[in-house]
Structure 1
Amino acid sequence: MSNRLALNTATGAETLYATADHFHGLEPQDIVARALSQAVAPLLSTNFRPRSAALLHLVTRLAPDIPVVWVDTGYNTPATYRFAEALTRRLKLNLQIYTPRVTSARRAAVMDGVPSLDHPQHGAFTQEVKLEPFARALQELAPDVWLTGIRAEQTDFRRTLGVVSRGPHGTLRVAPFFAWHVVDLEDYLYEHNLPDNDDYVDPTKVLDERECGLQNLGAGI
């Protein structure tokens, strides 16, 4: 990254952070538009979980070529892979897929597969299949603004973040649907005739209300 680009990136992200309070009460589309107006290198992340089509649709209407990062852990359901393929084609996503350095087949054959949530190796498993690939994506794509689908009602930790918060590697995390509820997302899908995925599994979280660590990266990896 050139010095000039680095300066512009920092300036745009810091402007967003300095005006973070102004985002509260805005509609998601206005949040995205304001974030994109300041971003130099925005990035959108997804996992193709239930109702994920809403954010993908909203953001790509305003920024069709935005890089969309998907960390494919290798443990997604067949339905999730089909959903990802269909939605990528429909929305013409600029999908950037990042995968673990160890395949799920190799892990199953020589590393005893997926450790249970209470197993001592579960933290290392999460680091290897999700956190490291996402960190790699951030290092390679060098975004200044990270658009994410997190919402306040999901976990106690996420509730503390707000619409705009500091993310990893100098990024600014922007959550357009932060104040929305599940029913709001479902209404959005219905209004725009978007498909959904009701067969999703995340072996790093297991429980819906549990953090895998991805959103805790603001403090470093």
Structure 2
Amino acid sequence: MKDYESYSPQSLLEEFIVSASRPVITSSFSVNSVVILDMALKIKPDIEVVLIDTGLLFKETYEFAEQLKSRWNINLIVVKPELSLEEQEKRYGKELWNRDPDLCCKLRKVEPLDRFLESGVDLWITGMRRDQSPTRKNLGKVEIHRLPSGRKITKLAPLADWDRKKVWNYVFKNNLPYNPLYDKGYTSFGCVPCTSLPVSDDERSGRWTGKGKLECGIHTFTEKEEI
């Protein structure tokens, strides 16, 4: 595989989206997602944009997703867990996210995404950046991943070498909308029970605070192939 490190996010997206049979973007509707969407929709306006609806997302996230869907005519695909929150409580007890956050993320995020990716997706685009977390510091712009079934998929992180300042500069320069949770002080957000305001300059420091957890699992359940 050729070296894509020098590619800009836009050129990287153009190279891979046009040659993919079924490209998708997974979106948390964070500021990174907005930047990726702005770039990708110029290449393929009907690209599938996947929201993993755990049933526990912030009201602002649901509303912002609908706002962008209407404003940009996004082909929004909402993926949900097999178990409703009520069914999960009956099977695993109340507030599983507090007692076993890894299992809760597996049930409500990882398994639904795995099922979706197995439905013929060959290009998975994310808004991840290397500076977000120690677990992402070696992130490649282009990676090949093996799903649990053994099927391989190309995973793209066009913003891998960007920092938070560069992301926000792009948003303001292009007058893009953003999730109102940022104006409330959040710098990273997922499900309500496992998200708090940041406790340090680390933008993901408000996620699973005190639980020793840095990732929900959707970016670690696949096996990265050595290229």
C-alpha separation in 2, matches of 1:37 and 1:45: 18
Aligned to 1:122: 101
Query: Is the CA contact 2:26–2:49 (under 8 Å) kept in the aligned structure 1?
Result: yes
Match of residue 201 from structure 2? none
Is 1:173 the counterpart of 2:155? The answer is yes
Number of the residue aligned with 1:44: 25
Q: Deviations over 1:46-101 (max 9, x none)?
A: 01124421111111111111111111111111111110100111111111110112
Identity across matched positions, percent:
26
Pick from 35, 40, 64 the counterpart of residue 54 of structure 1: 35
- For the aligned residues, what is the CA RMSD? 2.2
**Aligned residue-pair number:** 197
Task: List runs of 5+ in structure 2 lacking aligned partners.
Answer: 182-187, 197-203, 206-213
TM-score, normalized by length of structure 1?
0.81
TM-score by length of 2: 0.79
Q: Which runs of 5+ in 1 are unaligned?
A: 1-17
Whether 1:202 and 2:190 are equivalent positions in the alignment is: yes
**2:196 corresponds to 1:215:** no
Q: Residue 12 of structure 1 corresponds to which residue in structure 2?
A: none
- SS of the residue aligned with 1:39? coil
SS of the counterpart of 1:61?
Answer: coil
Counterparts of 1:107 and 1:215, CA distance in 2: 23
Q: Secondary structure at the match of 2:159?
A: coil
Q: Which has the higher contact order (CA 8 A, sep 6+)?
A: 1
> Are 1:91 and 2:79 an aligned pair?
no
Counterpart Cα distance in 1 of 2:32 and 2:156: 18
Q: Which residue in the other structure is 2:129 paired with?
A: 151
Cα drift, residue 103 of structure 1: 2.0
What is residue 35 of structure 1 aligned with on the other side?
16
With over 3 angstroms needed to count, the CA separation of the structure-2 counterparts of 1:184 and 1:90, relative to structure 1, is same
